Structure 1
Amino acid sequence: MEYQSGRSLEELAAFVAVVEANGFTAAARAMRARKATLSARVQELEQRLGVSLLVRTTRSLRLTDEGRAYFEHARRSLAAARDAEAVVALARSKPSGLLRITTSSALAGALLESVITPYLARYPDVVVELDTSARRVDLAREGFDLAIRVGPLDDSSLVARRLGTATGGYYASPRYLDRRGVPARPEELGHHETIVVAREEGPKDWPFVAGSRTRSIAVRPRLSVGSFELAAQAAAAGAGIVRAPLYFVRPFLSKKRLVQVLKEWTPQGFDVHAVFPPGGTLVPKTRVFLDMLAAWFTRNGSCA
């Protein structure tokens, strides 16, 4: 049996349309086609398959057993073909519209200059809304296109793409350590000045590991600031010990203005994922941003 893809799709479309419209006349009207053309396509399909798919009378139309089985497969095949065309059309279209992103303030600071600003410059028809609230956003219900999340994922209904690893640690300036000494154990932080990124008052918990166990140590900060950039600058200036992602302290480490402390007690990094609601092909604005985001993580490795 010879299979011709172009004509076969026309036959499939005609057959599915006739069954869904429950008649040739209604299908012709819906497809804006001639009734005779649809009838010819269905007849050609039946001849090619060697079976009758429809029982036609002057007043009714019904599927044969073979037609009923074929219809379910034909409808799925036709939908898949349309989806494939939609993928190509989306790939060729220009990113535009509002892109809503949610992530932590730490990652937002790292990505703003390196990914988001170049993205806006490259695609002038896109507007970006960046959410950095501490709460876990419901992407589908609140209309967000993309979330960038650190750590284990707790919603299996979402689609995720791993980007890299978020690493960091505890850092202080050599000047501060010469003055106050190098802590050997996390418990010694109670005798040190610490810097945190927070607005609320009271003690903060810093995580540490000992073998396979994880524990938290409460620290009472001497300095509280609103961003990791400021926290890293304060630590480099000798204000105390800071817990920060590697991205923000790396420039100070390279100039030896900061050194890492309590390294053997520092937890390993967490996976970073781009997460988006299910629902098929990503639209261009999201797909392009995701590609730029993945490329940045590839270039920088474990840097968040």
Structure 2
Amino acid sequence: MPYQSDHALEELRAFVAVVEAQGFSAAARATRGRKATLSKRVQELEARLGVPLLVRTTRSLRLTDEGRAYFEHASRALASVRDAEAVVLSAKAEPRGVLRVTTSAALAALVMDSVVAAYLARHARVRVELHVSEHRGDLVREGFDLAVWAGALEDSSLIARRLGVADGGYYASPHYLARRPEPKSPEEVAAHDTIAVPKGDAPMDWTFVVAGRPKRVTLRPRLVVSDLALAARAAAAGMGIVRAPSSVVEPYLAKKQLVAILRESTPPGLEVHAVFPVGGALVPKTRVFVDLLQAWFEREPHGARRGDRQR
């Protein structure tokens, strides 16, 4: 059966070459083959199909109606084969060019020292442009190869690969809690000094879990900053309560400059996804970077099991 399939493909290639070159001699020159071989392949194709595809004269060559219909489908089929081969060869190639990545400040800090550094060290022919923003823009329109986002994803034509889970919570300094008693419920947070990092035009509120259900608390923050690292630093200085990923506050927790509060009401960690346009995972520069991200999340304690899906 494989031989028959290969032979049928050779017949198809010969027929398309002859039609595109408008003759057997020209097709033999274009393909660096033998005219007799091409003629034999086309004759075998016509015999197998049971219809004439070409009308031959000593000076011209024209398609029959059946030949014209067959050529349209055959040429598309060959183009698909060439595209598939090109994709496979490209996927094996060395990463090169500029990789444009967009992500949040927290996730950028999470992977900078390990993933980005390793990627640049291993692949000298690639350059990374890391764009940090809390706003989720249009990847294709803004020219990004990849986004790394935490939290729920909207449906779109993009592809999302689940990387893992980023843990986080609510934190305050012992100095602040000495002045203001620790809130016992999410509702009490609204009366406290809070430090917020706005996300575009979204309302400034925090989500908690009460009796197994999400509960949003609207904030009236005493301090608004544009960067999570600054927010964590401000909280460690005693300016109020902050919501932040574990990776951002970890240095302050280790020095006991921050402590976790409202643990029972803290939601589970946010799922993290690598998001890219269709076909992006086959481009070497993107594929290799995503593979490094995946491996890092699988090694880390807050990593989660791998799972790909289209969204």
TM-score normalised by length of structure 2: 0.79
Q: Distance in 1 between matches of 2:195 and 2:278?
A: 40
Residue 100 (structure 1) shift: 1.0
- For the structure 1 residues 81 and 265, does the alpha-carbon distance in structure 2 shift closer, same or farther, using more than 3 Å as the test? same
Matching residue of 2:62: 61
Structure 2 residue matching 1:85: 3-state secondary structure: helix
| Paired letter, 1:54 | L
Deviations 1:95-150 (A, max 9, x none): 11011111222222222222112211111111111122343322222322111222
Structure 1 stretch 289-298 or stretch 169-178: which is displaced more? 169-178
- CA change 1:84–1:199 in 2 (3 A) is closer
2:307 paired residue number: none
Deviation of 1:275 (Å): 1.4
Partners of 1:195 and 1:240 within 8 A in 2 = yes
Give the deviation of 1:93 after TM superposition: 1.7
Q: Deviations over 1:216-258 (max 9, x none)?
A: 321322x444432333334334333111012212344355443
1:21 shift after superposition: 5.3
SS of 2:260's equivalent? strand
- Check whether the contact 2:194–2:219 (CA below 8 A) recurs between aligned residues: no
Q: Say if 2:136 is the partner of 1:136.
A: yes
Aligned pairs, how many? 299
Q: State the SS of the aligned residue for 1:3.
A: helix
After TM superposition, list the pairs within 5 Å mapping 1:179-218 onto structure 2.
Answer: 179-197=179-197, 204-211=204-211, 212-218=213-219
Tell me whether 1:266 sits opposite 2:266 in the alignment. Answer: yes
For structure 1, list consecutive stretches of 5 or more residues without a partner in the other structure: none
Task: Tell me which residue corresponds to 1:177.
Answer: 177
**Structure 1: distance between partners of 2:150 and 2:21:** 50
Which amino acid letter does the alignment assign opposite residue 118 of structure 2?
P
Percent same amino acid at aligned positions? Answer: 57
Residue 63 of structure 1 and its aligned partner are, at CA, apart by 4.5
Q: Distance in 2 between matches of 1:290 and 1:55?
A: 50
- State how far apart, in whole Å, the 1-side matches of 2:137 and 2:26 are: 46
Question: What is the Cα deviation at residue 23 of structure 1?
Answer: 4.7
Secondary structure in 2 matching 1:207: strand
**RMSD after superposition:** 3.4
Q: Relative to 1, partners in 2 of residues 1:2 and 1:192: Cα closer, same or farther, differing over 3 Å? A: closer
- Compare 80-89 and 282-291 and name the one that shifted more: 80-89
* SS at 1:219 equivalent: coil
Counterpart mapping for 1:94-173 below 5 A: 94-173=94-173
CA distance in 2, matches of 1:25, 1:271: 61
> Alpha carbons of 1:262 and 1:55: their partners in 2 closer, same or farther (altered >3 Å)?
same
Question: What do the CA deviations read for 1:164-194 (whole angstroms, capped 9, x no partner)?
Answer: 2233111123343234221012232344332
Residue of structure 2 in register with 1:230 after alignment: 230
2:172–2:238 CA contact under 8 A, matched in 1: yes
Q: Distance in 2 between matches of 1:171 and 1:155?
A: 32
Q: Which runs of 5+ in 2 are unaligned?
A: 305-311
Matched letter for residue 269 of structure 2: G
Map residues 278-289 of structure 1 onto 2, 5 A cutoff.
278-279=278-279, 282-289=282-289
Q: What is the CA–CA distance in structure 2 between the aligned matches of 1:146 and 1:32, rounded to whole Å?
A: 42
Pair 1:293-2:293 in alignment: yes
Superposed CA deviations along residues 4-44 of structure 1, whole A, max 9, x for unmatched, are 56555433322233345565456456546554443233234
Quickly say closer, same or farther: Cα 1:67–1:100, change in 2 above 3 A: same
Contact 1:164–1:301 (Cα < 8 Å) also in 2: no
182-191 vs 253-262, which moves further: 253-262
* Contact kept in structure 2, 1:208 and 1:215, CA below 8 Å: yes
Partner of 2:12: 12
Written as runs of structure 1 = structure 2, the 5 A alignment for 1:83-98 is 83-98=83-98
